[in-house]
């Protein structure tokens, strides 16, 4: 018996009496986290969760409510709360009549939920190696403050009063190691991780060794002289720059007047080498899904082609308001309101090898780590960034050594225009951003006077 469906049909009856439409999103799953410290198991965390979120539409307004109690009584109460919220927001200035997704064929992504039996012993062994293989690289690896294995199983289901009922399940494993290397007064850390859908593809030794070796390689770092240098942004760190661009690509931000790409469709805004795609069907992405948070079928969207802005990312409402196609990028969880966001952003491969890129300028800074994330210094309203980072300095194609304690500054839109070369390979470590290395003509670097 499909209890959820039966309960939802009862709630649809309540909605009908109130003359409103209703959508129910249910997510849930299980996760297991295992971590070793000092070669002993330190962490064993298991959780199961489920949450139901209602979106109630009263013509031009919508209200939300959520609960973790999925009994029928609780669902009815939560529906009433969402209804009350929709009524609260009633405003005669709203002109747009909100629409729900109608049932369409959804592409099945079988790779999301590959059947596999993995014993607890195998998982514990993987977690143990994620620490020990890093410690075994060199005595200078003093600890791995964070390391472990995460197993996730999840499901998502959306039902609405237009007859839509879509769902999918997914499972994944992530292994990560964060190594701390110490040599005299110098300390360096490095995080390496890998996301896989099939346990057999997880190589914990490779993850741990990569992390340890990268931490060692950065010892001993020096400060650099303040100045302007060419920047070679590592493929793994390019995600930060794509994340800066992401909100500007959404039609919701365009409609709110917050996107700096407003009114620029069809314009050449980036280097001709820049081709960017939103790909919710990509097997290696962590934001892969067969439908978006309104239940619209996922599809690929070309955002930039040869530097030209092709479209914005949309949901049903923003697509209709702008008169462009729905790209199915509605995003929400049961406890949040509807937003528009990219799924997996994929920067198309270029043709230049790393070894070639470091020779393109007299001095090139290879940016391998943006240390503070974006909140340390990115301003979305202007596109300006000032971000602390670490990396390696090259001169005439030769490695001078690791550099740290510097801040690189610029503007994301200028950076897109200043791209001089794009690398010819990806690392499929698993992320919602897939990018090769990117060479940028010049950024401002603050270090020693």
Partner 1 sequence: MILPEIRLQKTLDAALSTGADFADVFVEETYSSQLSLLNQKADKAIVGTLYGAGIRLFFGEEIVYVTTNDLSEEALIKTALMAAQARGNQKRLASAFQLKASQFDSIHTYGEKPWEMNRDKKFQWMNAVDQHARSRSSLVTQVEANLLEKFQKVQIANSNGLHKFDQRAYSRLGVQTFVESEGMKESSHDNAGHMGTSELYDKIDLKKLAVENVDRALLLTKAKYAPAGEMPVLISNSFGGVIFHEACGHGLETTSVAKNSSVFCGKLGQKVAHESVTAIDDGTIQNEWGSLNIDDEGMPTQRTTLIEKGILKSYIVDQMGAKQTGYQATGSGRKQSYKFAPASRMRNTFIDRGTDKFEDMVKDVDYGLYAKKMGGGSVNTGTGDYNFSVVEGYIIRNGEIQEAVKGACLIGRGIETLGNITKVSDNLKLATGMCGSVSGSIPAAVGQPEILVSKMTVGGRA
The C-alpha atoms of residue 240 and residue 47 are separated, in whole angstroms, by: 30
Q: Is residue 91 within the footprint of partner 1 (CB under 8 A)?
A: yes
Q: Is residue 160 within the footprint of partner 1 (CB under 8 A)?
A: no
Q: Name which of residues 389 to 428 contact partner 1 (CB under 8 A).
A: 404-409
Q: Name which of residues 303 to 362 contact partner 1 (CB under 8 A).
A: 335-337
Integer Rg of the chain from CA: 24
Which tokens in the block code for residue 337? Answer: 């309101």
Closest alpha carbon to 204 in 90, 312, 123, 84: 123
CB of 115 to partner 1, least distance (A): 23
Answer for which of 11, 12, 65, 276 binds partner 1 (CB under 8 A) is 65
Answer for which of 6, 88, 107, 396 binds partner 1 (CB under 8 A) is 88
State the binding string over 239-278 for partner 1 (x if CB under 8 A, else -).
-----------------xxx-x------------------
Among the candidate windows 44-52, 286-294, 308-316, 321-329, which touches partner 1 by CB under 8 A?
A: 44-52
CB of 50 to partner 1, least distance (A): 6
Q: Is residue 283 within the footprint of partner 1 (CB under 8 A)?
A: no
| Dihedral angle sign, alpha carbons of residues 367, 370, 374, 376 | negative
CB closer to partner 1, 388 vs 397: 388
**Residues in binding contact with partner 1, number by CB under 8 A:** 74
CB of 425 to partner 1, least distance (A): 28
Strand blocks (E) in 201-332: 227-233, 276-278, 301-305, 308-309, 330-331
The C-alpha atoms of residue 396 and residue 305 are separated, in whole angstroms, by: 32
> With contact defined as beta carbons under 8 Å apart, do 234 and 368 qualify?
yes
CB of 111 to partner 1, least distance (A): 28
- DSSP letters spanning 305-334: ETTEE---B--HHHHHHHTS-----EE--T
Q: Is residue 387 within the footprint of partner 1 (CB under 8 A)?
A: yes
CB closer to partner 1, 216 vs 310: 216
Contacts of 299 (CB under 8 A, 6+ apart): 280, 281, 327, 328
CB of 368 to partner 1, least distance (A): 14
Answer for which of 3, 16, 46, 220 binds partner 1 (CB under 8 A) is 46
Closest alpha carbon to 376 in 363, 364, 387: 387
């Amino acid at each position: 018996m499909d209890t959820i469906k039966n309960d939802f049909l009862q709630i649809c009856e309540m909605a009908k009496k109130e003359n409103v439409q209703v959508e129910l999103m249910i997510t849930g799953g299980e996760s297991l986290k295992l971590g070793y410290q000092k070669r002993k198991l330190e962490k064993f965390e298991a959780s199961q969760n489920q949450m139901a979120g209602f979106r109630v539409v009263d013509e031009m307004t919508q209200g939300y409510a959520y609960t973790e109690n999925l009994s029928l009584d609780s669902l009815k109460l939560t529906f009433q709360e969402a209804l009350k919220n929709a009524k609260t927001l009633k405003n005669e200035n709203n002109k747009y009549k909100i629409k729900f997704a109608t049932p369409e064929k959804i592409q099945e992504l079988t790779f999301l939920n590959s059947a596999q039996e993995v014993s607890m012993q195998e998982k514990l062994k993987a977690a143990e190696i994620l620490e020990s293989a890093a410690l075994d690289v060199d005595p200078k690896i003093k600890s791995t403050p964070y390391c472990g294995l995460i197993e996730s199983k999840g499901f998502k289901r959306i039902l609405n009063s237009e007859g839509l009922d879509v769902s999918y399940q997914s499972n994944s494993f992530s292994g990560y190691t964060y190594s701390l290397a110490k040599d005299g007064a110098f300390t360096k850390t490095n995080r390496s991780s890998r996301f896989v859908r099939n346990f057999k593809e997880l190589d914990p030794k490779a993850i741990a060794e990569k992390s340890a070796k990268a931490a060692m390689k950065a010892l001993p770092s020096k400060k650099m002289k303040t100045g302007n240098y060419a920047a070679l942004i590592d493929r793994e760190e390019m995600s930060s720059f794509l994340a800066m661009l992401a909100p500007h690509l959404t039609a919701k931000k365009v409609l709110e007047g917050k996107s700096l790409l407003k009114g620029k469709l069809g314009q050449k805004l980036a280097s001709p080498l820049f081709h960017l795609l939103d790909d919710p069907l990509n097997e290696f992405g962590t934001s892969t899904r067969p439908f978006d948070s309104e239940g619209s079928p996922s599809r690929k969207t070309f955002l930039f082609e040869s530097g030209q802005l092709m479209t914005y990312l949309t949901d049903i409402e923003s697509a209709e308001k702008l008169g462009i196609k729905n790209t199915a990028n509605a995003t929400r969880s049961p406890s949040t309101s509807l937003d528009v966001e990219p799924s997996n952003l994929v920067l198309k491969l270029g043709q230049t090898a790393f070894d070639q890129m470091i020779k393109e300028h007299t001095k090139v800074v290879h940016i391998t780590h943006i240390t503070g994330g974006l909140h340390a210094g990115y301003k979305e309203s202007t596109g300006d960034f000032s971000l602390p980072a670490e990396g390696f300095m090259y001169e005439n194609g030769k490695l001078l050594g690791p550099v740290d304690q510097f801040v690189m500054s610029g503007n994301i839109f200028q950076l897109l225009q200043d791209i001089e070369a794009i690398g010819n390979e990806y690392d499929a470590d698993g992320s919602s951003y897939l990018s090769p290395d990117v060479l940028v003509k010049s950024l401002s670097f603050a270090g020693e006077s």
